[in-house]
Structure 1
C-alpha cells in the first residue's frame, strides 16, 4: 500500500474506528492488529501522513525532564531501532544524538538534574563542556555557552516512512484505511459509543480511538468529550545542497530560543518555534519566518545565518495547556479512547503510545502508568509540570 492509496468504501460496521491516519493512528492500528484485533477501520480526512506527521524529518529522543516522558521516548527509540524487523521498513533512522546548547547557569542546573533522572532510566545522556559541543557540531559558536547536554542514542528519522511501514503492516493484517473521509459526527447511547458518521456513510462500532492530532478537539466535542488541544503552526526550511557536504552533526538545539538544525540529505534543515505564532489551522509556509532563525544563528551558529535556502515546510503542532500529551480512556464514555495533544512529541512517542492504546483496548496493564496524562487532569487541577517546548 502506498501513502497515496485511497479506500473510499467505508464499511457499515467495525469493532474499532481509529480517527486519524498519521503516525499515531497507524501505530495504534498496527499494534491492535498485531495483537489479533480484527475489524479495524482507520478514518483519515485526507491522505495518510497528511497532517503533523507529514514533517520531512522528525527527531527521536529520550531526553525529557520527567520519568513518564523519558520512558515513552526510550521505548519508542528501541522500537525505531527495530523497525526494519518489526513491522519491517527502512525509516532512515540516523542516531546522531541530540545536542542541547545551554546559556545560563539555571539551564545547566536544570538539565543536570534531568540527566540524573535520565541516567537512572538507562538513557546515556551527559553534560558536556562547550568545547566538547563544538567538536560534535563545528557550526556552533561557544560564545556565551555555559554547558551542553548530549545523548548519543537520540537522532532523527523520516515520519512518512514510519507511517508507511505501520500502514503496510496493518493493511496486511486486514485493517481498512478510509482516506479522504471526514468524520461528521459520533453517536452515543448512555455511556457507549454506537456510530461514527462520515461523509461516506455511517460506521457502527463499539470503540472509537481519537488520534486526530490538531483536529482532536473537534472530534472530542462530537462525543461530548473535552480534549483541550489547540493548533499552532510550526515552520522549517532547507538549505541548498552544501559543497563540501555538511559534516554529520547531532540534532542541535539552542535551548533558549528553540532554534534547531540538523542534516537533511545533502544540506541542512533549520527550524524554530515562533513565539508570536497565533493559534489556527493555517499551514502556509511564509519565507519571512526564516529571519527569526537567522537572527539566532548570527550569534549561535554564524555560518548558518547566510546559507541559501531552497524552500520550507509548515505543519501543525497540537498543543495542550501543559505541553504534555493526552492519553487515556474517557471516564464518561469508556469506549472512547484518545492519544493526542503531543505538543511536538507525537512522532517520537508513537511506537510506545501504539502499545499503550492496544493495551487499554484489550484491558491490559500498559508498560507504564499513563494516568497522569488523562485529559481529566485539567478539570481536577492535576496538570503536569510543563515540558520544555522544544522539538
Structure 2
C-alpha cells in the first residue's frame, strides 16, 4: 500500500464515480501528483445504490456532448482496465401518452438532430416491439436513442479507479477529511484523519456531502439530499438482457433490465428531503428504510404500463438519498469564493450518465484553469445570493425534483421560494397586472394583464395566453413609449487611477473613451470566445459603471475579479442592490423625460451612446442613452429609495403620450426584430466576436493587449467556420423556441440558439449559427435555400444578417 503523502498538487475529496472519473482523467492528462481521499470505501456514498441508466439528450448542446463523452468512455473502459463495467449500449426508449408530451418528444427529436445525436420516432407498436412487456394502449408515440444504455455504477467506479492508479494517481480509502486550511484565498492544506496534506488545488466531489465539505473552506455548494426509491424484481419471463432502458414520463417512471428482472423507479411529485438537520455519523453503504406507502403512487402508475409487475417477486425496494440541485443541473467548476477550489457534485440521480464526461470536463478545467467548452449551464457561477440559504435551496430543489418528469414547457417559471428579491416597484406593478418571472431570486415583470386577461401563465407548445398582452406592449414601445423595470441588472463599479488600463486588458472593447461615454465591452476568454457581455459607462477618469445581465451577476463579477491585472490601482465593487433601473423606451421617450427634468436631453446635448448624471423628478439619476429594443430611450439608474417617486413622475408625465408598462417578454420580441443577440444563448464562450457579428466592438487594430487578442490574431484572415444569422418564417402559426435544426440546401448546418415572434413584422424569428467546417462568408450564408426543422416538420425560412425591423433608423436614435 502506498505511503500516505504529506503533500500533493491536487487533492480530490470523494470516491464516488465523479471523484474516480476526475482522478482518472487528470492522470491521463499527465497530472500524476493527484491524491483521491474517500472517508470510507469507494462508492460508499450514493454511487453504490444508483440505478445506472445512461441517457444523453439534454436541451443544451454542450451538456449533450458531455454525456456523449460518458458513453464514449464506457464503451472502451473495460477493455482498457480489464475490470468489468456492466456497460450495455442497449438503447433507450421514451414514451409519450398525451398530445402535448408527443409534441415535446418531437421537439426533442429535432434537438437530437440539431446536436448530431441519433434518435428515431416510433409508433406504439414499434415501441412495443422493442419492449414487449409493456401495455401501449395509451401510448401515442415513442422515441428511441440507440446509443443510450446502462451500466453497473460500482463496477464502473472500480474500473475508473484502476485506470487512475495505473496512470499514476493515488487513492486512499478510510481517510476522512476533517478540515480545510485557507490562506490568501485558496486552500493550502487538507486536514485528514491520517494527517495533513499540503496542496495547491482541491476538487470537491463529495456527493451529497459536498455542501458540508465546501463549508469547511467557506464555499457555498447549493445542493440538498432527497430520498429516491426504486424497486428490484425477481426474474420476469420475457425480460431479456438486450431490453432497452425505458422512460415513461407521463407515468413518472423508468425501467432497466437487471439479471433477468427489472429495476423500476420514479420521481414522485411529493419528494421527501433527507438530512435536513445534518447527516448521521458513519453513513456508508447504507440505505434508508423502504417507504412502501410513499412508493405506492409510483407502483400504481407502473402497473398500468407493465402488468407483469403485479405478479413479479420483489427482491428489494431501495431507498437511497441522493443530492439534487435547485435547477436540476449538476455543479462543476471553480468556486467564486476561492482560487483552486473546484466542485463536481449535485448530479440529480444521473451521475452515472454524467460521470465519464463530467470527470473529463472537470479534469480539463482543473488542468487548464478554464472549462474546455461552454459549461455555463452547470457552472457553479450560475448561482447567486438567493442560493446562500439552505432552506430556500431545499424548497426550490424539491420543486425541481417533483418536476423531473413533467413536461418541460416553454417559458416555464418555478413557483417555490417566491417572492424573494423584489424591486421597490414590485407591489405597485403587481397591482397593475404584472405577471412576474424569476431569475437569480429576482422578481421581474414578464408581462402585464389588462381587463379580463388572466394574470398568470398558461403553458403550452402553441400560442401562449400572454401573446396578445406582449403584442400590446411591443406595439406601445414601437409607437408610443413604455417603462420597463430592469432593477435586477447586475451592476459593478470599477474605481481607481488605473481603472482604464485594467479594464482595457480585460475587455476587447475600446475603454480609452472620454468620460460620459458608453462602451460595449465584450470580455473574451483566451480562446477568443465571448465570456461576458458587459456595458461599460465611463462616469469619470477613474470610475467605470459596469452593467451585466441578471443571471450573470456571479459569473461576470468573478471573471472580472480574477482577470483584472494585479498591481494596478483598480477596485471592483458589486453595487447591484444600490440602484433601481427604469428603462424609458419609445418614440415619445424624450417628450416624457423632458417634462420631469431641467437638464438638456436634446440629441445634441445627449447623443446616443452617452451617459449623463441628471435630475429626474427630484431624484439623481445616472441616465444611459442606449436601447436593447431599437427605439429612442434611456435607462435611468436611480438610488433605490427614489425608484417609486421617479416611476410615478414618469407615468404622470407620459399619460398624454400613451405611456404603458411593459415586461421582459416584450423586450425579447423587440430585440429579435432588431437583430440584437442575447448573451448566454446566441453568444457565449464558444463564439468569437467575428462569428457573432460583433467584430466592430473589438479593438484588434490598436496595439493594446487584451485577453483573447492573440487567439483572434492567430485566426485573422482565416475563413469563419460558423456565423450567427437571423431567420424568419412566413407562417405566423409556427412557434420557434430555439434548438430547431437549420438546413441549407437540404444539409444540416446548425440549430437555432433562440427564437420567438416579431409583432411588428408579424413573423416568427430565430437566431442561430450557420456552420461549415471548411469555412464560410456572408455570401455563403445569404445564398441557398433554408429550412427549419420544427418538431420534425421542415418549414421554409429566410436568412438575414441585418435587422428585420429597421424603419427610419435616424428617427429612432436621434
Is this a same-fold pair by TM over 0.5? yes
User: In 2, are the aligned partners of 1:22 and 1:49 still within 8 Å (CA)?
Assistant: yes
Show the counterpart of 2:115: 121
More strand by share: 2
Show the counterpart of 1:4: none
Q: Once the two structures are superposed, what CA deviation does each residue of 1:38-75 show, in whole Å capped at 9, x if it has no partner?
A: 22111112110112211365111212222232111112
Show the counterpart of 2:375: 370
- C-alpha separation in 2, matches of 1:355 and 1:247: 29
What secondary structure sits across from 1:237 in the alignment? strand
How much does 1:336 deviate? 0.2
- May I ask how many residue pairs the two structures share in their alignment? 382
How much does 1:251 deviate? 0.8
Q: Once the two structures are superposed, what CA deviation does each residue of 1:183-240 show, in whole Å capped at 9, x if it has no partner?
A: 1211111212111112222211110001111111111111111110101121222211
- C-alpha separation in 1, matches of 2:300 and 2:106: 28
Q: Structure 1's 68 and 245: CA in aligned 2 closer, same or farther, altered over 3 A?
A: closer
Show the counterpart of 1:334: 339
User: In 2, are the aligned partners of 1:238 and 1:268 still within 8 Å (CA)?
Assistant: yes
User: In 2, are the aligned partners of 1:260 and 1:272 still within 8 Å (CA)?
Assistant: yes
What secondary structure sits across from 2:107 in the alignment? helix
How much does 1:119 deviate? 1.6
Show the counterpart of 1:313: 318
Show the counterpart of 1:175: 169
- C-alpha separation in 2, matches of 1:267 and 1:297: 15
Range 245-254 or range 211-220, more displaced: 245-254
What secondary structure sits across from 2:178 in the alignment? strand
Show the counterpart of 1:149: 143
Q: TM-score, length-normalised on structure 2?
A: 0.45
What secondary structure sits across from 2:78 in the alignment? coil
Q: Structure 1's 263 and 43: CA in aligned 2 closer, same or farther, altered over 3 A?
A: same
User: Is 2:11 the counterpart of 1:17?
Assistant: yes
Unpaired segments ≥5 residues, structure 2: 276-285, 388-395, 406-814
What is the correspondence of 1:62-211 to structure 2 with a 5 Å cutoff? 62-211=56-205
How much does 1:173 deviate? 2.9
- C-alpha separation in 2, matches of 1:221 and 1:8: 30
Q: TM-score, length-normalised on structure 1?
A: 0.90
- C-alpha separation in 1, matches of 2:12 and 2:358: 14
Q: Structure 1's 117 and 381: CA in aligned 2 closer, same or farther, altered over 3 A?
A: farther
Range 108-117 or range 152-161, more displaced: 108-117
Q: Once the two structures are superposed, what CA deviation does each residue of 1:154-199 show, in whole Å capped at 9, x if it has no partner?
A: 1101111111111112222332222122212111112121111122
- C-alpha separation in 2, matches of 1:298 and 1:61: 23
Corresponding residue to 2:359 among 354, 362, 377: 354
- C-alpha separation in 1, matches of 2:234 and 2:113: 38
Show the counterpart of 1:389: 404
How much does 1:243 deviate? 4.4
User: In 2, are the aligned partners of 1:208 and 1:336 still within 8 Å (CA)?
Assistant: yes
What is the correspondence of 1:18-37 to structure 2 with a 5 Å cutoff? 18-37=12-31
Show the counterpart of 1:263: 257
User: In 1, are the aligned partners of 2:241 and 2:260 still within 8 Å (CA)?
Assistant: no
Range 212-221 or range 361-370, more displaced: 361-370
- C-alpha separation in 1, matches of 2:50 and 2:272: 23
- C-alpha separation in 1, matches of 2:146 and 2:238: 25
CA-based RMSD: 2.4
Show the counterpart of 1:249: 243
What secondary structure sits across from 1:376 in the alignment? helix
Show the counterpart of 1:283: 287
User: In 1, are the aligned partners of 2:132 and 2:238 still within 8 Å (CA)?
Assistant: no
Q: If you compute each CA radius of gyration, which structure gives the higher value, 1 or 2? A: 2
How much does 1:313 deviate? 2.5
- C-alpha separation in 2, matches of 1:104 and 1:12: 60
- Runs of at least 4 residues off by over 6 Å: 380-383
Q: Which has the higher contact order (CA 8 A, sep 6+)?
A: 1
How much does 1:88 deviate? 4.7
What secondary structure sits across from 2:57 in the alignment? coil
- C-alpha separation in 1, matches of 2:151 and 2:224: 26
Show the counterpart of 2:699: none
What secondary structure sits across from 2:316 in the alignment? strand
Q: Structure 1's 88 and 123: CA in aligned 2 closer, same or farther, altered over 3 A?
A: farther
- C-alpha separation in 2, matches of 1:244 and 1:162: 27
User: In 2, are the aligned partners of 1:8 and 1:180 still within 8 Å (CA)?
Assistant: no
User: In 1, are the aligned partners of 2:239 and 2:262 still within 8 Å (CA)?
Assistant: no
Q: Once the two structures are superposed, what CA deviation does each residue of 1:322-371 show, in whole Å capped at 9, x if it has no partner?
A: 00011111233120011111111221111112221221122166443113
- C-alpha separation in 2, matches of 1:76 and 1:366: 17
What secondary structure sits across from 1:372 in the alignment? coil
How much does 1:244 deviate? 6.0
Range 233-242 or range 319-328, more displaced: 233-242
- C-alpha separation in 2, matches of 1:220 and 1:247: 41
Range 92-101 or range 279-288, more displaced: 279-288
Q: Structure 1's 69 and 285: CA in aligned 2 closer, same or farther, altered over 3 A?
A: farther
User: In 1, are the aligned partners of 2:63 and 2:375 still within 8 Å (CA)?
Assistant: no
User: In 2, are the aligned partners of 1:211 and 1:338 still within 8 Å (CA)?
Assistant: yes
How much does 1:274 deviate? 3.4
User: In 1, are the aligned partners of 2:203 and 2:342 still within 8 Å (CA)?
Assistant: yes
